[in-house]
Structure 1
């Protein structure tokens, strides 16, 4: 059932912080800050279907819906480039062969964790399934640096992706919000005021009263 499918963009949140992901996708709570607002504007530009690109050797599709039935994922790519290549695949209504190259747009700089990388890999794997081909690289465009960072994926990356998605589905099915793991990134988290990390791991009122009554 497709209501059990996870959104591909949620992978980035899960890798960043499992509790943030749970607040957003299990509890359906959202709180926008400057960083999320800036990111939304950047994605709106990338998804602008009025910006059309088609040249002799490639064409571009924006806001492309994608899906993986194997991993129960759904979402869309900011940009998918189809680059003419004799080793590529046939594309409907095109006489040439093309290789597929997804590009994800992000605000800020390259992250130290693998949150953006795993989201891009999820796009590659979904596109692989849809077009029955092998896609082992793509790019992330960072608005702060105005540069693309190309990523080549390894088997280790793919195994890591599988483990992440498996854990996401398990937690989603259990509907159990993971505990807080306080770190520096809590300060910039868009759901910090909802999560309240400095309080969340402390004893709740009910347990406190019960413990006192048992004395």
Structure 2
């Protein structure tokens, strides 16, 4: 089970803990992440149910060895200094010392997408735990049944850090990010809870009203 988020950090203490799944949610949509983190809100649809069914096996803790590769499933990972924690779907430990995190996704893989952030966070946690570099990870796509290799470079690591700070900002301010009201909302299982179109119209109406009713300069009368 993913460790709960801390809502506050002691003065001078470690950073607020952010789960690796929150990194992916925030990278996909900050408002979606806020609804989950602040309101414990979540809703399933056909896509999320497929994902749950796909993850049933990899979410059962266990390990096996085939040839020179040891495969560990549902491995808890963390990085105390960075305030990250979560669970790796699968981690391959090779005989030559390589460690490869594998994130399973039911849908299609998008290079540079939210899954890459979660995977990079896993790699950074594993590096801290095993004290060895992890330059690559894998996203397994259930849609095409392929493994997609992801490079964990400096840009990917920086993205993890900036995304984690954005998540902490949401947690500390206790305020929901604005609804994007774009194509992402069509595929989001939480759109009924989020009501992006309603909120987008509200913001548009408020902007139009402020433009209509701007205070007018006082008239100057000649004597």
Match status 1:176 vs 2:153: no
Report the counterpart of residue 25 of structure 1 in structure 2: 37
Report the counterpart of residue 73 of structure 1 in structure 2: 84
Unmatched runs of 5 consecutive residues or more in structure 1: 86-97
Count of residue pairs brought into register by the alignment:
199
* Deviation, structure 1 residue 41: 0.9
Q: Find 1:56's aligned residue among 67, 70, 73.
A: 67
Structure index of larger Rg? 2
Instruction: Classify the secondary structure of the residue corresponding to 1:165.
Output: helix
* Deviation, structure 1 residue 39: 0.5
CA RMSD between the two structures? 2.6
Report the counterpart of residue 27 of structure 2 in structure 1: 15
Q: TM-score, normalised by structure 2?
A: 0.81
Unmatched runs of 5 consecutive residues or more in structure 2: 7-15, 216-223
Q: TM-score, normalised by structure 1?
A: 0.84
Report the counterpart of residue 94 of structure 2 in structure 1: 83
* Deviation, structure 1 residue 182: 1.5
Q: What is the correspondence of 1:55-204 to structure 2 with a 5 Å cutoff?
A: 55-85=66-96, 98-111=97-110, 113-203=112-202
Q: Distance in 2 between matches of 1:2 and 1:10?
A: 10
Cα pair 2:93 2:100 within 8 Å, conserved: yes
Say if 1:202 and 1:152 are closer, same or farther in 2 by CA, change over 3 A.
same
Report the counterpart of residue 46 of structure 2 in structure 1: 34
Say if 1:122 and 1:202 are closer, same or farther in 2 by CA, change over 3 A.
same
